[in-house]
A and B are shown apart, each in its own frame.
Chain A
């Protein structure tokens, strides 16, 4: 049955600013039917209780993603490992401060990004060049003195690899949340599908679909950046 429009007054205007008290949208943990292993919430709760296995599981789950975020901020592989390790230690030391354990991942990644920025700031204040090895400048100088030597080419290749790496990292980072971590594990860590699904507590079938989809999205993103290549 269709009720025709009446001449009654319109609904009251949408109230603004919105009070954030609508609680029917749950955390991600409760949304997926694809999970078979422990959720972040459970692992954080267990870690808070001192269970060593839970710390290890959180580490395995996010070490690739933390590395990726550290690199994204630093822009160079040097010091990435130090920042990534420090991020985990800081997160583990302050687990009690995390209000919502379902948000462990975004909290950990924020800690990582902040630590990387602190690191960059410290370096800048210390007056250290961000070309950490100085390899590029040294090679350029050497090549200028002795044209024809391969050092400059080597340095240029190195710089090009850095740029490609940054583009890959950026492309993985920009994937939707469900695809980011599996893609980081697959391409940064070279972990098998079975191991990724075990670490993430996901059904293997779900993981296979996500990797497949992540790969499609990555190729599409990188195709725009590498129009000349024959691999996409």
Chain B
């Protein structure tokens, strides 16, 4: 067994989750490998510490049965209410007799409240995207009270949220747009994501390196995945299968390299298409240049382990 193989299964070994043959193989490896033995010791202590410190929070064995009993009792309580209703109704009737305007005022109040609720109620949308591999390097933020704040739903990106990956240069964060598309961003990067009737918009606000890929849903939705970098933009047809490597460069231009399919691009002055295998540099204004390159030696989107 190699060290890599051993380390892949070491957590399962510590958790007592391996079969006897695998366990014996790891035992044998640990006997002759100091580094893996050290790691094993660390993992063992780490796991034991976590479980020990979390002990007071361990749900008791009867947690579920208590909940279900309370649930049944609450339901039964509610079912008893109708037998008490006549008394409540008669007291309301008394109130109506003594003050005939009461139901109209109450009705008007209900209508006002309902109207306000309809006006201000904004149903929660589904997320636009989910962070997958590398999510620990990124924070999802929402703009509230004049500042970006971390959301309460880590890993889920709703329209208008932004993904900030600043602290781990070189790390890759995978973004899952469901069956529509995938993306990867390379830290450092800050990316705002929106969804609207046209499709999905990603908006880097600084130098960023991104991989965008549409999966080709086969439908004729006409929706797009668009990246907007101030005035420069590139867009992919969500109905087709396309992939681009994009660099929002420090000079303010977008460099777009089409790996699969094709992309549409443009800026304040011009727009056009770029086909598979070609790379374009799109400035904020003027005619895009075809002399651009994204150097594969610096980075080639090899996925993290």
Contacts and interface: CB of A to CB of B under 8 A. Distances in A.
Interface of A: 1-11, 14-16, 18-22, 24-28, 30-31, 52, 55-56, 59-60, 63-64, 67-68, 71, 77, 80-81, 84-86, 88-89, 92-93, 99-100, 103, 106, 161, 164-165, 168-169, 173-178, 180, 186-190, 192-193, 208, 211-212, 215, 217-221, 230-232
B12 interface: yes
Interface in B39-94: 42-43, 45-47, 49-51, 53-54, 56-60, 63-64, 66-68, 70-71, 74-75
B223 interface: yes
22 contacts: A1-B275, A2-B278, A4-B290, A8-B270, A10-B231, A10-B266, A11-B266, A18-B159, A18-B197, A22-B195, A25-B128, A25-B180, A28-B130, A31-B176, A52-B68, A77-B56, A84-B59, A85-B66, A88-B67, A93-B71, A164-B53, A219-B46
B223 A232 contact: no
Contacts of B219: 24
A26 B136 contact: no
Nearest to B277: A2
A176 B135 contact: yes
Contacts of A232: 42, 46
Interface centre among B12, B71, B201 (most CB of A within 10 A): B71
Given A68-B57, A85-B70, A89-B74, A174 B154 contact: yes
Contacts of A178: 132, 155
Given A14-B198, A103-B124, A175-B155, 16 more contacts: A6-B272, A20-B195, A22-B198, A24-B223, A25-B129, A86-B70, A93-B71, A100-B126, A169-B54, A177-B130, A187-B54, A188-B54, A193-B17, A208-B12, A231-B46, A231-B49
Given A2-B274, A31-B179, A59-B64, A188 B59 contact: yes
The 9 tightest CB contacts between A and B, nearest first, are A18-B196, A176-B155, A176-B135, A5-B272, A231-B45, A77-B56, A5-B270, A3-B273, A177-B155
Interface of B: 8, 11-12, 15, 17, 42-43, 45-47, 49-51, 53-54, 56-60, 63-64, 66-68, 70-71, 74-75, 123-132, 135-136, 153-156, 159-160, 176-180, 194-201, 217, 219, 221, 223, 226, 228, 231, 233, 235, 238, 264-275, 278, 280, 287-288, 290
A231 B273 CA distance: 54
A54 B94 CA distance: 45
A193 B15 contact: yes
A81 B62 CA distance: 11
B273 A2 contact: yes
A63 B197 contact: no
Interface centre among A77, A100, A187 (most CB of B within 10 A): A187
Given A11-B233, A174-B154, A18 B194 contact: yes
Contact of A14 (B46, B60, B226): B226
A56 B68 contact: yes
A165 B56 contact: yes
B136 A176 contact: yes
A49 to B, nearest CB: 15
A8 B136 contact: no
Given A2-B278, A232-B42, A22 B67 contact: no
B269 A10 contact: yes
Contacts of B125: 20
A168 B228 contact: no
A175 B139 CA distance: 10
Nearest to A213: B133
Nearest to A166: B53
Nearest to B136: A217
B271 A8 contact: yes
B149 to A, nearest CB: 14
A19 B266 contact: no
A20 B197 CA distance: 7
A175 B136 contact: yes
A2 B271 contact: no
B164 to A, nearest CB: 14
A11 B271 contact: yes
B59 A92 contact: no
B290 to A, nearest CB: 7
Nearest to A218: B50
A40 B8 CA distance: 31
Contacts of A80: 57
A85 B123 CA distance: 27
